[in-house]
């Protein structure tokens, strides 16, 4: 609190991101980063960009990147919006598409930035509880609303909902915007970008932070009808005309053009997710089935907080959410083989000591 702040700022409850320790020896399994690093082609594109041209502003519409993404998903460039991380894209979507009289609907257990955006833009919201086992039941979203948003796969559960369910929802909900946050869809899910030509009110949001391993560069994008994209452009151009630097745009374009590298790293993460699931179950953990690059797990004998603290004491960071329904779980990012081995060894000694 400060007397210099407006009442509005005093009332905000900002999002708290996972910790980024300075010590590189820490095994970071807390923010769902990709252990394999960006494509060498992205790294080359970055160094190729580091020249006198940086004196010039970037293209305000990131045209080359929009063309590249449009080609990749068989859409047209006016169906693509890009921003400084998908968090920024989501913020513009809340601001531009969700400020209605009816409340915005999202699950009770989901990405915790959504209620933060609602408070920032003074949007009323209603959280719909996930069913047992963290199933997302979209039938419950067919009620008056000012917009609907959910991640698919959901975060932090990892559960994936197939496209039939989403299409059924879109058949019912025609007067408000449905945003599907597909931050983790590349790890085995199917994107509902394929539904965009049939549904004007569907916005699909992606990030290059997870599957494309560019979290440090901050690049996200949205795909939807040109009318939704135009709305986002109006908000963006009232806020920051140049959200992506020349370096961000060049690295992103190169990432989409290196599909072999992309597919190989995804494959490795998916194999590790399956291996890790098996090993954790052997140690007595319950593992929520995940289509993402993380696992939500609980152990019948050791509390989540004590798992978190004891891993941390061994320089392994995971995430523990002190929130109803998931406070007995920890969320573990799937790492590389060495990281996963260190994790399972440490968990094995913790579990055996009780
Ligand atoms: C990581 C994540 C994001 C944000 O990604 P950035 O592009 O790094 O801002 C958005 N939504 C969900 C569900 C995420 O997990």
Of all residues in the chain, what percent are helix, strand and coil, respectively (each to 5)? Answer: 45, 15, 45
**Distances from the Cα of 275 to the Cαs of 159, 284, 328, in angstroms?**
17, 15, 23
State the distance between the two ends of the chain, measured CA to CA, in whole angstroms: 43
So what's the pLDDT on residue 43? Answer: 98
> 113 in helix, strand or coil?
helix
Residue nearest to atom 1 of ligand 1 (CA): 183
Q: Where are the domains positioned within the chain?
A: 22-37+260-352, 40-257
Rounded Cα gap, residues 104 and 177, in angstroms: 10
So what's the pLDDT on residue 107? Answer: 98
Pocket of ligand 1 (CB under 6 A): 85-87, 111, 151, 155, 181, 183, 207, 209, 215, 220
Domain 22-37+260-352 annotated CATH 1.10.10.10: no
Residue 90 Cα to ligand 1 midpoint, Å, equals 9
Angle, nearest 10°, between helix axes 86-97 and 226-236? 100
Closest ligand 1 atom number to CA of residue 151: 13
So what's the pLDDT on residue 1? Answer: 84
Rama region for 74: left / alpha / beta (φ>0; ψ in -120 to 50; rest) = left
Class of the CATH domain delimited by 40-257: alpha beta
Per-residue pLDDT of the chain (354 residues; tens, 9 = 90+): 889 999 999 999 999 998 999 999 999 999 999 999 999 999 999 999 999 999 999 999 999 999 999 999 999 999 999 999 999 999 999 999 999 999 999 999 999 999 999 999 999 999 999 999 999 999 999 999 999 999 999 999 999 999 999 999 999 999 999 999 999 999 999 999 999 999 999 999 999 999 999 999 999 999 999 999 999 999 999 999 999 999 999 999 999 999 999 999 999 999 999 999 999 999 999 999 999 999 999 999 999 999 999 999 999 999 999 999 999 999 999 999 999 999 999 999 999 998
So what's the pLDDT on residue 68? Answer: 98
Which of 17, 85, 86, 321 has most ligand 1 atoms within 8 Å of CB, for mutation? Answer: 86
Residue 84 Cα to ligand 1 midpoint, Å, equals 11
Let me know if 164 is exposed, middle or buried by CB neighbors in 10 A (0-12, 13-18, 19+).
exposed
Q: How many CB atoms lie within 10 A of CB 241?
A: 11
């Amino acid at each position: 609190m400060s007397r210099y702040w407006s009442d509005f700022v005093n009332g905000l409850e900002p999002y708290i991101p996972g910790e980024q320790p300075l010590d590189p020896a820490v095994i970071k399994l807390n923010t769902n980063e990709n252990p394999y690093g960006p494509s060498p082609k992205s790294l080359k594109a970055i160094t190729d960009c580091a020249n006198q041209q940086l004196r010039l502003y970037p293209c305000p519409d990131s045209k080359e990147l929009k063309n590249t993404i449009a080609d990749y998903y068989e859409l047209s460039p006016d169906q693509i919006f890009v921003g400084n991380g998908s968090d920024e894209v989501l913020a513009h979507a809340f601001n531009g598409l969700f400020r209605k009289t009816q409340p915005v609907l999202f699950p009770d257990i989901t990405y915790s930035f959504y209620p933060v955006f609602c408070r920032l833009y003074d949007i009323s919201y209603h959280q719909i509880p996930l069913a047992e086992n963290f199933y997302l039941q979209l039938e419950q979203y067919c009620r008056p609303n000012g917009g609907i948003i959910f991640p698919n796969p959901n975060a932090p559960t990892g559960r994936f909902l197939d496209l039939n369910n989403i299409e059924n929802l879109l058949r019912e909900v025609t007067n408000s915007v449905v945003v599907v946050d597909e931050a983790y869809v590349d790890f085995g899910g199917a994107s509902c970008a394929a539904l965009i030509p049939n549904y004007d009110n569907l916005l699909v949001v992606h990030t290059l932070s997870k599957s494309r391993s560019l979290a440090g560069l901050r690049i996200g994008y949205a795909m939807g009808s040109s009318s939704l994209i135009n709305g986002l452009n109006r908000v963006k151009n009232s806020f920051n005309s140049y959200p992506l630097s020349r370096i961000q745009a060049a690295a992103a374009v190169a990432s989409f053009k290196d599909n072999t590298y992309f597919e190989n790293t995804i494959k490795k993460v998916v194999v590790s997710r399956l291996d890790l699931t098996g090993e954790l179950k052997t140690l007595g953990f319950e593992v929520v089935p995940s289509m993402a690059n993380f696992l939500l797990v609980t152990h019948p004998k050791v509390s989540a907080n004590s798992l978190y603290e004891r891993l941390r004491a061994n320089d392994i960071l995971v995430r523990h959410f002190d929130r109803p329904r998931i406070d007995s779980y920890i969320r573990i990012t799937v790492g590389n083989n060495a990281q996963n081995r260190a994790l399972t060894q440490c968990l094995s000694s913790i579990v055996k000591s009780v």
